[in-house]
Every structure is written in C-alpha cells, then in structure tokens.
Structure 1
Amino acid sequence: MHANRSASTAQAAKSGKNQVPRRAARVHSNSFDYSLDFKQIDFRQHPELYRVGRGEQGVLLVEPYKSEILPHWRFADEDKARLSSEKIFELFLNYLDNDDFVGADMARKFLQMGYTRARRYANHKGGKKYDGPVPDDKKGLSGAHGRDELPRTPEDPVKAAAARIFKAKWDEAKVHPRYLALKQQFEQQVQSGTFNGKA
C-alpha cells in the first residue's frame, strides 16, 4: 500500500508504459499545471503530478476524484446544499483516513466551489458574473479574463443560504489538523521531488 511511487514511475518510464507528459520546469512548482493530459492521468496512481494551485484550480479536471465527488455536488437550495456539503465532507474525511491528500484537497475544492458558485448565483441572477464568452485559450480557468463584471441583482436568499452552508464545511475542511499535516507532507514531497507512498 505504501510502495515507492517514484521507483514505480521510473520503472514504468523505462518500460515505455504509463508515461505521463509533464513540463520538467514545473515539477517542483506549487502552481497548478494546466498543460498535463488530464484525460490520461489517474492522479490516485500519480499524486506526484498534482499541484494544489490557488483556490479551486483543477477542480473539474483531476480524476478519478472529479468523478467521485461531482455527482454529489448540489447547491440549488438549502436542503440540497446541506446534503451535498455533508456528503462531500464525508468523502473528505474518508480520503484523510486513507492518507490520500489529493482526494482530500479535491473534496476541499468542491466545498469551496459550492460556496463560490452559490454566492455567484446569489449575486447575479442566472449565475452569470461576467459579460461575454470565455476566450478559447482561457476555458477551464477561473477569472474575468478581460471581461466586465455584470451588475449585481438583489440577493437571492435561497442561494445565499446555500452559500453559507458550503462556507461552513469549507472552513472546517481547510483547517482540519489531518488535512494540514498531509498538505505539509505533500508540499515537502513536491519540493524534494520524492513521493514515497501516499502523501
């Protein structure tokens, strides 16, 4: 269960199997690397390729975690937000129990995204925050990308309540002692370039 992943990755590279494209310059960076082939990478098998990045970066890219968490992600109203945030927090705790930092961080990102998306819908009717389409080269990345923010509408109390529910779970997740310990361990492994077992 705690096999040396660096050795197994090197062995796979020698055999030509399971090779994972990445830019060498980014190996020891904490920035989220959007150049990876996310359709081909299983981050449970290759946690060394994961980067925390900023905020919710990669939340809809990193597999198999996206497929495990996304079906539970709902924020339409208070009841859905409560059930959703509790289930995602349960997954968060399960990942921690399995020393799976990448899974825990992805669950944390989904909780954060529950908050930010619900707040967006609370502030902007229909959930559209910026004017105009996302530029093709910026799809999948968050941000205004040169677009103007649309005027805020009167706050939607249902979405605001959903946002508060997700915020409480997100706040709990990001300061969880086991999460912080695994995050520190993971970041040390990124800096050193060594991944021994699960981080």
Structure 2
Amino acid sequence: MPFDYTLDFHHVDFRAQPELYRVGKGEQGVLLVEPYKSEILPFWRFRTPAVARESSEVIYGLFLAYLEKSDFVGADMARKFLQMGFTRARRYANHRGGKKYDGPVPDDKKGQSGAHGRAELPRTAEDPVKAEAAAIFKAKWDEAKQHPEYLRQKAEFEARYGK
C-alpha cells in the first residue's frame, strides 16, 4: 500500500498504532511519523564527514535497538533517516545551498518530492566534503536495508498489515 498522507499525523502515535503505518517509497513520511521523528531527528546531521559519521552511527544504533524490540516501524523510520542523510548530503554536494529547483513549492505540493513545474537548477562543482558525508550515510543505509532481521520484520509487517 502507498504511504497514507491523509492521516492526522499530529495525533497518531505509530508505536501504539503500527497498523496505520505504511512503508511507502523511499523517504515517505520520514518527517511525519511520531514518536519516531522526534526520537531520531535530533541526531540527524550531515554538515561534515565527522558529523555524518557520528550521526549515521547513532541512527544505525537506534535502528538496531528498534529491531531488538521488534519495533519495525521505528527501524524503518531509522532506515529512512539514513537514506535521507545520503540524499540530502548528495543534494548539497551537487547544488551549493542545497536548492535543486527554482522557485517556491506550490502550497498544494508541500511535503511531496519533485519539481512540480519548477525548473531544475544547474549543478555546481561537486562539494567533496558533502560527497564524503553522503558516502558515509549511503554505507549505513545499505547496511540497514540489507540487514537480515530488518528484512524478516519487514516481510512480517507487510504480511500482517498489507503492503
């Protein structure tokens, strides 16, 4: 099932109601799903390779802790934060200032990815610091999404609650 953006994210506790969670594609819901967003976001940083290394290790530790508790939603959210560390650091590596598209996001498209009719800005010279930070997150993201216990819990979750 696709990620459900119609839920009242200000009032849903996905730890108490995991049946409402959908994995979705990529990073969908990463900044919406509570209490996990509030638990993981304070550790998410990618400014330098050293900061990215510490951040990705802390978030990967949370990922493992969620798996240990059989909390698939938490583990999936930690996986999404690792993925987002990679994608955002890559964006800053490719676009000085991190802005990929020209112009504001239309109000009815906020929270969604994509250009939405806006022109893509040209890439700047690659920032090697941000590229290294991205590679650090990419390695942890790959490790998380291939973790055997994560894959087992994901299959169990999808069988129980639907894709």
TM-score category (smaller protein): over 0.9
Q: Which residue of 2 aligns with 1:135?
A: 106
Shift of 1:190: 1.7
In the TM superposition, what are the counterparts of 1:49-88 in structure 2 within 5 Å? 49-88=20-59
Cα separation, 1, equivalents of 2:116 and 2:90: 20
Specify every segment of 5 or more residues in structure 2 that has no aligned partner in the other structure, as ranges.
none
In the TM superposition, what are the counterparts of 1:13-92 in structure 2 within 5 Å? 30-92=1-63
What do the CA deviations read for 1:108-135 (whole angstroms, capped 9, x no partner)?
A: 0000000000000000000000111111
Cα separation, 2, equivalents of 1:94 and 1:135: 38
**Aligned residues with identical type, % of pairs:** 75
Which 4+ stretches in 1 moved above 3 angstroms?
none
Larger radius of gyration: 1
Q: Which residue of 1 aligns with 2:69?
A: 98
- The two structures, once aligned, show a CA RMSD in angstroms of 0.9
Cα separation, 2, equivalents of 1:73 and 1:191: 29
- Letter matched to residue 188 of structure 1: A
- Letter matched to residue 102 of structure 1: V
What do the CA deviations read for 1:39-75 (whole angstroms, capped 9, x no partner)?
A: 0000000000000000000000000000000000000
Q: Of the candidates 62, 72, 79, which is equivalent to residue 108 of structure 1?
A: 79
Q: What is the TM-score with the length of structure 1 in the denominator?
A: 0.81
The secondary structure found in structure 2 opposite 1:125 is coil
Cα separation, 2, equivalents of 1:191 and 1:116: 27
Q: Of the candidates 142, 146, 157, which is equivalent to residue 171 of structure 1?
A: 142
Shift of 1:147: 1.4
Cα separation, 1, equivalents of 2:150 and 2:14: 18
Specify every segment of 5 or more residues in structure 1 that has no aligned partner in the other structure, as ranges.
1-29, 193-199
What do the CA deviations read for 1:21-44 (whole angstroms, capped 9, x no partner)?
A: xxxxxxxxx200101000000000
Shift of 1:191: 2.6
Tell me how many residue pairs correspond in the alignment.
163
Shift of 1:189: 1.0
